[in-house]
Homo-oligomer: A and B are copies of this chain.
Amino acid sequence: MFVMKSDGFVASTDLLPGMTAEDIGWKTAIMSLSDMAAKGVKPEGCSIILGIERERNTDFILKIYKGLIRAANQYDFYIWGGDLNEANDLIVGCTMIGWAKDGKIVTRKGARPGDIIAVTGCFGYTSVAYKVLLEGYKIKEKHYLNEILRHVYRPIARIREGLILKNFASASIDSSDGLALSLNLLSDASNVKIVIDKIPITYIAKKFASEYNMDVLKLVLYEGGEEYEIIYSIPIHMWNKAYNAVREVGGKLYPIGRVEEGKGVYLKKNEVYERIFPRGYQHFK
């Protein structure tokens, strides 16, 4: 069975201040790769549709491709071809193809009551980055700022984790639409309730939230997105095997909650259940 996933990077809505042409190429690849990872599919190759403003020079186009090629080397896929057009915006569209050789993919639909909800990494880099890059908030320590920018300009795709966890997970979704929204999409698709009791949050986001007196949980749930961590539901009898398998490929699984019968997503704080709403950044909403 083969799997195809298209994603488009559009400068007028997706370009962050400071992002280079090479970052754009890299990030476009990661957007498609992350979905492949969530489905447990090995990416094989892609085709690129480029829409580019007349005033951009050849060097700019080549640097976008340099970023794509860097991702292709890192994640072992081909760039098979593409199409170049003049446009009034910068658009990099990537259609990625992968093969599920055993015919098995992980969807959003299989989460069952009793399953553990887990994620592949810490949250908070992009929510802080957006505050800093788009809303004028400040981070004093230069090394913290650099760490944040590295994560948003050059995110990584959880391919190794995805290829291993397809053997253990009952459902999955990538978190690129934002943590709150992605959890709700998983809950809806599987028709189950999800209860979250902790979220792994980067030290920088905690420090930032505390300095600006923000609720750090709300910050990472609702104001992030494009973090490319994967959210899994894993049957409880599979948990130890899944956890160890991810460790063996160099990754980590963070349990964040559990699946129950019912509907909706909730945050459990001191025995109080608080609704996590399907909000987040989305085009046309």
Contact = CB atoms under 8 A, between A and B. Distances in A.
Contacts of A85: 8, 10, 13-14, 91, 283
B47 A81 contact: no
Interface of A is mostly: strand
A187 interface: no
Contact of A95 (B47, B86, B88, B89): B47
A88 B91 CA distance: 10
A284 B55 CA distance: 10
Contacts of A279: none
Given A89-B87, A283-B84, A51 B5 contact: no
Given A87-B91, A89-B88, A91-B85, A8 B49 contact: yes
A107 interface: no
A110 to B, nearest CB: 20
Quickly give the copy total for this chain: 2
Interface string A52-95: 00000000000000000000000000001111111111010101
Contacts of A13: 85-87
A16 interface: no
A117 interface: no
B49 A87 contact: no
Contact of A7 (B14, B45, B83): B83
A89 B88 CA distance: 5
Given A86-B284, A283-B85, A8 B51 contact: yes
Contacts of A82: 6
Contact of A4 (B10, B47, B93): B47
A265 interface: no
A149 B119 CA distance: 54
Given A86-B283, A89-B51, A283-B86, A95 B12 contact: no
Interface centre among A86, A89, A93, A283 (most CB of B within 10 A): A93
B7 A80 contact: no
Nearest to A84: B283
A6 B83 contact: yes
Interface of A: 4-8, 10, 12-14, 45, 47-51, 80-89, 91, 93, 95, 97, 283-284
The 3 closest A-B pairs by CB, nearest first: A49-B93, A95-B95, A88-B89
7 contacts: A4-B95, A6-B81, A12-B87, A51-B87, A85-B283, A86-B284, A93-B93
